[in-house]
Amino acid sequence: MRKRPARVAAIHDLSGFGRCSLSVIIPILSVMGIQPVPLPTAVLSTHTGGFQNVVFRDLSDFVEPALKQYQSEHLGFESVYTGFLSSEQQIDHCLDFIRAYPKALTIVDPVMGDHGKRYKTYTISLCKRMKELVKEADFITPNPTEMSLLLEEEYDPRPMTHQELKTKLLKLSDMGPSTVVVTGVELADMTINNVGYDRERNSFWRVKCSYVPVSYPGTGDVFCSIVVGSILKGDSLPIAMERATRFLELAIKRTFSYGTDTRYGVMLEPSLPWLCQEQVLDKYEIL
Containing 186, the helix (H) or strand (E) segment is strand 179-186
CA atoms within 13 A on the CB side of 73: 9
Other C-beta atoms lying within 10 Å of the C-beta of residue 162: 14
CB of 113 to ligand PXL, least distance (A): 9
CB of 219 to ligand PXL, least distance (A): 8
Between 113 and 176, CB nearer to ligand PXL: 113
Decide: 10 and 81 in contact? Cβ < 8 Å.
yes
CB of 22 to ligand PXL, least distance (A): 9
Distance CA 101, CA 281 (A): 32
CB of 47 to ligand PXL, least distance (A): 4
Between 217 and 238, CB nearer to ligand PXL: 217
Between CA 219 and CA 226, with CA 221 as vertex, the angle to 5 degrees is 100
What are the distances in angstroms from CA 89 to CA 45, 63, 86, 101, 126?
Answer: 22, 10, 9, 19, 9
Between 15 and 230, CB nearer to ligand PXL: 15
Query: DSSP of 31-71, one letter per residue?
Result: HTT-EEEEEEEEEEEE-SSS-SS--EEE-TTTHHHHHHHHH
Of the candidates 152, 153, 140, the one whose C-alpha atom is nearest the C-alpha of residue 182 is 140
Between 173 and 260, CB nearer to ligand PXL: 260
Between 225 and 230, CB nearer to ligand PXL: 225
Decide: 173 and 213 in contact? Cβ < 8 Å.
no
Between 222 and 287, CB nearer to ligand PXL: 222
CB of 282 to ligand PXL, least distance (A): 29
What is the contact surface with ligand PXL in residues (CB under 6 A)?
A: 13, 15, 20-21, 44, 47-49, 84, 111, 119, 217-218, 220-221
CB of 42 to ligand PXL, least distance (A): 7
CB of 226 to ligand PXL, least distance (A): 14
Beta bridge partners of 58: 42
Between 19 and 243, CB nearer to ligand PXL: 19
